[in-house]
Structures are given as C-alpha cells and as structure tokens.
Amino acid sequence: MLKLSYGETAVLLEGDAEKRIEQLMSASGEARAGLLKVGHHGSATSSTAKFLSAVRPHYAVISAGARNPFGYPRPEVAGTPWRPWASPLSARTRTAR
C-alpha cells in the first residue's frame, strides 16, 4: 500500500493489500484519500466497508482486464457504494476491451 500526498490532495494505491492490511491502515488514522486505487483488481479479498469509511474516497479506480479468468472486478466489489456517506457514484468507465 502506498499513499501519495501533496498539500490537501492524497492518493491511496492499495496494490494487493487484503483485509488485514486494510485493518492496519484504518487503525493508523492515515487512510484518508480523495482517490483510491482499489486493491486486488476488485477481488472480494479487499475493500471492506470499514476501510472505505476510513479512506472516504471521492473516486475509486479498479484495474482489471476484460474477460480475465478470475472474474474481476467481483460484482460485490464493483457494486459497492464507494461513498457510503453520500450517494453512490453513478458513472463507470471501462477502458479494457
């Protein structure tokens, strides 16, 4: 997991972090970021509700190839309301074909 900050702007790149790492990051108080690169290509092993509440991203990016053999992003992750304190993001863009 890598957090990049510049002034008031922060980006959190989760990499392959799973729930245990998310718990540690949430507990650290350093999770807040405006942009979250979702961990594990949107697999079900990341993106817990507690972690998302700690990060409070305005935007979330899921990187997954089209028709990948793992079925990423998982429907339960892609359908997550990324901003539980506000209305869910309404626009989704897929760039992989």
Tens of pLDDT, residues 45-59: 888 888 888 988 888
Instruction: Provide the whole-model pTM.
Output: 0.75
The answer to whether 12 touches 36, Cβ cutoff 8 Å, is: yes
Strands 2-6 and 9-13: antiparallel
Q: 25 or 45: whose pLDDT is higher? A: 25
User: In whole angstroms, what is the distance from residue 1 CA to residue 92 CA?
Assistant: 24
